[in-house]
Amino acid sequence: MERADEDACRVALLDADGGGGGEGGKKQQQQLAARVWEESRKLWDIVAPAIFSRVVTYSMNVITQAFAGHLGDLELAAISIANTVVVGFNFGLMLGMASALETLCGQAFGAKKFHMMGVYMQRSWIVLFMCAVLLLPMYFFAEDVLLLTGQPPELAAMAGKVCVWFIPLHFSFAFLFPLQRFLQCQMRNSANAAAAAAALCVHLLASWLLVSRLRFGLAGIALTLNFSWWATGAMLFAYVACGGCPDTWHGFSLEAFAGMWEFVKLSSASGVMLCLENWYYRILVLLTGNLKDAAIAVDALSICMSINGWQMMIPLAFFAGTGVRVANELGAGNGEGARFATIVSTVTSLVIGLFFWVLIMGLHDKYALIFTSSPVVLDAVDHLSVLLAFTILLNSIQPILSGVAVGSGWQSMVAYVNIGCYYLIGIPMGILLGWLFNLGVLGIWAGMIGGTAVQTLVLAIMTVRCDWEKEALIASTRMGKLSEVR
């Protein structure tokens, strides 16, 4: 009898627990769904206007290449080489250095130290303008550098001339990038988007006028791109200076010159980390210039890189959004919130990457018509489509993990990862496949994709094993050091 009563009690308890567990499980699912929705809303508040502004800004470069392509194959190759080897290298370095603001301004915003955000931006201007001056010789001696790397003399001469015309564009990076990140970290991406849209309209009109109507050729293309980028910077500064950011911009201050060493160290680490990523696929174009039929190979690869770069504005927007969200949560002392933001951003970007993978595979023989009508170039692009599709898929994850690194301040550590994966694995593998196995541009690109895959795996392991509460304490300590400016 006692045994029966005991069994009955056990069944009753299991029933009660099962019912409660079912209800509890459902409630937990609802809470998780609500949390995912809230985090997605915060993320898309940053990412949606960031995607728009980045796609629009990148479209100015694509439009430039399209106009150059219709001037001729050599002109397209010259613009591509100038943008990739010289302007692109410096673009990557200064973009990386400006990304220090994503760490500092993002954590300052989370910690509610709003007054420091304007000071950080001014420090970034100082550092980037100094860097821009130091990099000027690359523009003046671009032709010699290109000849040393094995580029054909005619192509090197034309690209070298274009590089000199792009010097104003070079200085616009130092002014524009800190402004964009300053606004992005305080959720004012609509200003970035509006300025980019206005600049695109100006760029289209000026390109048509100077290239198609007045026939200024490559000089007109360079002049248009210079003007459009400076116009974007001028509009953003007018927004900030005229009261758009009353809590974070209090005018120019001598505080910008204090506490520079810590800022320079973080900016330098950020520059090395991101420019190593940015340079990686630009080196792919440079290596391709040494193949047989270099002009055709460079044209085909440049078209693929333009499509990849165009689409990559989406994961780069997630890079920015993840960096800001992680930095905000760490600045507020919420390590678990930073971890959750990382998961939501990674999954969302991967789903978008899968969509574009399918799109490229389906339009493999069509998308190059945007840039050229040459049958030889169209056929060469078609042969590269599979690699382009898988590059897009892989790049839907890698930038988000880099965004976690920027938001957490891991730039120095990730710089070493990038050197090892990209330059000790990817490039040697690409050279091996491209020349030793006679696979040409297919082999070079496939080898370099391998380097990106290894880097993505390493960053994923770092992120999974991260102690987020410890990172929140480190962020608090960093804010204290960089705020000691008086």
Q: What is the pLDDT of residues 207-225, one digit of tens each?
A: 888 888 888 888 888 899 8
Q: Which residues contact 218 (CB under 8 A, 6 or more apart)?
A: 68, 71, 75, 78, 79, 158, 161, 162, 165
pLDDT score of 5: 47
pLDDT score of 332: 85
Please determine, for residue 8, whether its predicted confidence score (pLDDT) is greater than 60: no
Query: Average pLDDT, stretch 4-9?
Result: 47
pLDDT score of 273: 80
Please determine, for residue 34, whether its predicted confidence score (pLDDT) is greater than 80: yes
Please determine, for residue 301, whether its predicted confidence score (pLDDT) is greater than 60: yes
pLDDT score of 282: 67
Q: Which of 442, 146, 431, 437 is nearest to 286 (CA)?
A: 146
pLDDT score of 112: 85
Please determine, for residue 4, whether its predicted confidence score (pLDDT) is greater than 70: no
pLDDT score of 269: 82
Range 366-390 burial, b when 16+ CB lie within 10 A, else e: ebbeebbebeebbebbeebbebbbb
pLDDT score of 86: 79
pLDDT score of 292: 64
Question: CA-to-CA distance for 400 and 236, rounded, in angstroms?
Answer: 26
Question: CA-to-CA distance for 231 and 239, rounded, in angstroms?
Answer: 12
pLDDT score of 230: 94
pLDDT score of 481: 60
Report pTM.
Answer: 0.77
Give per-residue pLDDT as tens, 125-172. Answer: 999 999 999 999 999 999 998 888 777 888 889 989 999 999 999 999
Question: CA-to-CA distance for 312 and 58, rounded, in angstroms?
Answer: 10
Contact 448, 427 (CB under 8 A): yes
Task: Please give the residue that has the higher pLDDT: either 260 or 4.
Answer: 260
Query: Average pLDDT, stretch 360-372?
Result: 80
Alpha helix (H) ranges present in 247-293? 260-288
Contact 218, 79 (CB under 8 A): yes
Q: How remote is the C-alpha of 186 from its chain's centroid?
A: 19
Question: CA-to-CA distance for 184 and 50, rounded, in angstroms?
Answer: 8
pLDDT-based confidence at residue 1 (cuts at 50, 70, 90): very low
Would you list the DSSP string of 296-353?
Answer: HHHHHHHHHHHHHHHHHHHHHHHHHHHHHHHHHHHHTT-HHHHHHHHHHHHHHHHHHH
pLDDT-based confidence at residue 91 (cuts at 50, 70, 90): confident
Please determine, for residue 183, whether its predicted confidence score (pLDDT) is greater than 90: yes
